[in-house]
Amino acid sequence: MDRDIQQDVITAQFTKLNKGTSV
């Protein structure tokens, strides 16, 4: 479960970074 949460956080951060670069 901890791994799932960590991966989710990483994905969320990656998406945020991608969105910021996209805009």
The pLDDT of residue 6 is 93
- pTM of structure: 0.50
Instruction: Give the burial string for 9-20 (b: 16+ CB within 10 Å, else e).
Output: eeeeeeeeeeee
Q: What is the rounded distance in angstroms from the CA atom of residue 1 to the CA atom of residue 4?
A: 5
- Evaluate the CA torsion angle 16, 19, 17, 1 in order and state its sign: positive
**pLDDT given at position 4:** 86
Q: What is the pLDDT of residue 3?
A: 82
Write down the pLDDT at residue 12: 94
pLDDT in tens, 1-22: 678 899 999 999 999 998 887 6
